Structure 1
């Protein structure tokens, strides 16, 4: 069978792959993208977007219960879980169709099927109808990742769930155990806790949200416990005994094991890259615990083979994957793009309260040998936060004391996932404390706290 030839073949149409395909087409390349399941990938269909839709429902429900604080009256408050889920699926479905439209608009050939690299520049695609042979000098692997499952803790979809089951729950948990306190675990814990589930979070290390600044992690724990969650750090779930309508979890902590009984478990213990069955290793691509080993430009060391997004080095975030897709497409088209810097990628967690960060934590900055200045500003000192009824939270900034470089920023509180981009831009422009202090922030806004945090780092804070 004669192969169809393209300039670039992209395997996977998630936020890395479809963006790479579109950017390549914009630059004049002939592009094919192969997707085995959903246009838009996990992020759009089963991750970032539908979880945010569900969390928005939980946020509104939470605010409904606070109506009296705002001079309002509401009674008979309740929720319809099926309707909440339907809304989230509708949002995902709308965006799924949008990705297909964008690919068509940019004249990208979209093929639904399973791809495998069969030799230099060659890809075989098995579709529902037949097998297609494709050829290109440049192949971009953007196959993403899936939930990691630990032996004995595997999901069954009934009482033990992964994120996919949690997005289309067969029942509303009454007693919920969440294993893992990274962004995925905490977001689902926050959602179901807000809807009334008695929620316990177990984390193997000494604090929740372990990639965040330690001070922010501590504030988050206090906030979650105030909302009724039980947090168990330095603990490991060793075994799950599954019954028809309950699960008995054996939790080890401090050398002792005890059991708790719940009706639902969500396992959120990390991810595994979707790199098997692609023929990558046969091509000479090195894998490290399922993740492809690449350089700063997502090159694998095998000529013409790139790997982007969750299938390679972290942080495993959709926006990082998209940016890598653009970078790789521009490199293939003959450009000279800048590499993506992992420590300039913001992390956002959409629990209540929200958490966002970019760059080095205070501890990381010290460990790297920096003399630092640290600034903090609390939400309670901000007029807009008080007007919103959101007085709990903090913005923290970390600067190099010698150069004034913004090393990192860490936030907890209302809408911080929107605020963090200000510091991301600042880091990209290599800003110093002086430029941030000289910037005029609009009033009344939450963003004024970003200014005050910088001022605090240099002993110039006004409103505390």
Structure 2
């Protein structure tokens, strides 16, 4: 069977793949995209989007419970978990359909099925109508990743859940154990804790949210404990004994092991790349710990073969994947894009309070030998935060003392996942502390704290 030929084939229609396909089509390339399951990938269907929909429901419930603080009355406050999940699935479905529409609008050929690389520039797709052969000089792998499962802690969908089970829960947990305190773990802990689950978080590192600045992690932990969570750091779950409707967890902390009983466990111990059954070995593609090894332009070392997004390694973020998709499409079309800079990609966690950061933490900046200036500003000093009833939070900025370069920004508090973008633009434009100090921030806004944090680094803070 003759292969259908394109300029570019993308394998995987997640936030990296579909964006790459659309950008390629915009640049005049003939593009095909292969997807084995859902348009929009994990992000739109089982990750970023549905979790945010569920977290929004938890946030509204939390606000309803605080109605009296705002001079309001709300009686018989409660929730319907099935309805919360139904809304979340509807939001995901709407966006997944939107991706299909965008691909069609941009004249991208869509092939539903599982793809295998059969040779250089050749792909075989197993569709529900049989094998389909495709060929292109340029192939982009965007197959994403899935939840890592540790031996003895495997999910069963009943007592032990992955993120997928947690998004369509068979019941409301009463006593919940969350293993792992990265973004996924802490978001689910926050959601179920707000809905009333007695929640324990176990983290193997010396602090929760271990990729964040230590001061931000400590602040977030204090808030989670205040909300009733139990946080166990420098601890690991060694074994789970599954019984009738209960799980006994053997948790090791230092030299001691304790056994605690839960009715539900969510495992959020990282992800592994979807590298299996793609035919990578035969082509000589280098894979390191389930991730395809690439250069700064996402090239695999095999001519015409690229890998973007989660399959290409950290940071495992949808916006990183999308940006890489655009870069690779432009590269294929003969343009000269800039490589994606990992240190200018923000991380956002949508727990309560939210956490967001970009660039170097204070500790990392010192490790790298920078002479630094650090500024901080608390939410309690901001008029808008107090008016919103959100006085718990802080913004921290890290500068190079000599050049004024903004090395990093770290935030915890209400809406910081939106605020972080201001510092991202600043870093992209190579701003200095003088530029930020001379910017007029509107009043009353949360963004004023960003200004004050910069001023504080140079001993010029006004409202503290």
TM exceeding 0.5: yes
Aligned equivalent of 2:424? 424
Within 5 Å, give how 1:257-268 maps onto structure 2: 257-268=257-268
Q: Distance in 1 between matches of 2:103 and 2:303?
A: 26
Aligned equivalent of 1:433? 433
Q: Distance in 2 between matches of 1:368 and 1:116?
A: 42
Within 5 Å, give how 1:221-300 maps onto structure 2: 221-300=221-300
* TM-score of the two chains, using structure 1 as the length reference: 1.00
Give CA-to-partner distance per residue, 1:402-436, whole Å, 9 cap, x none. 00000000000000000000000000111000000
Aligned equivalent of 1:160? 160
RMSD across aligned positions (CA): 0.4
Distance apart, 1:314 and its partner CA: 0.9
Aligned equivalent of 1:394? 394
Q: Distance in 2 between matches of 1:196 and 1:78?
A: 10
Aligned equivalent of 1:199? 199
Aligned equivalent of 2:328? 328
Q: Distance in 2 between matches of 1:144 and 1:244?
A: 35
Distance apart, 1:313 and its partner CA: 2.3
Within 5 Å, give how 1:59-70 maps onto structure 2: 59-70=59-70
Q: Distance in 1 between matches of 2:166 and 2:361?
A: 31
Classify the secondary structure of the residue corresponding to 1:92: helix
Distance apart, 1:280 and its partner CA: 1.2
Unaligned runs of 5+ in 2: none
Q: Distance in 1 between matches of 2:48 and 2:371?
A: 37
Classify the secondary structure of the residue corresponding to 1:93: helix
Aligned equivalent of 1:452? 452
Give CA-to-partner distance per residue, 1:271-292, whole Å, 9 cap, x none. 0000110011211110000100
Aligned equivalent of 1:144? 144
- Find runs of 4+ consecutive structure 1 residues off by over 3 angstroms: none
Matched, 1:89 2:89: yes
Q: Distance in 2 between matches of 1:300 and 1:98?
A: 31
Distance apart, 1:79 and its partner CA: 0.2
State the number of aligned residues.
464
Give CA-to-partner distance per residue, 1:377-414, whole Å, 9 cap, x none. 00000000000000000000000000000000000000
Aligned equivalent of 2:208? 208
Q: Distance in 2 between matches of 1:244 and 1:258?
A: 20
Q: Distance in 2 between matches of 1:63 and 1:149?
A: 35
Distance apart, 1:244 and its partner CA: 2.0
* TM-score of the two chains, using structure 2 as the length reference: 1.00
Q: Distance in 2 between matches of 1:313 and 1:81?
A: 34
Aligned equivalent of 1:132? 132
Classify the secondary structure of the residue corresponding to 1:396: strand
Q: Distance in 2 between matches of 1:313 and 1:241?
A: 33
Classify the secondary structure of the residue corresponding to 1:111: strand
Q: Distance in 2 between matches of 1:267 and 1:78?
A: 27
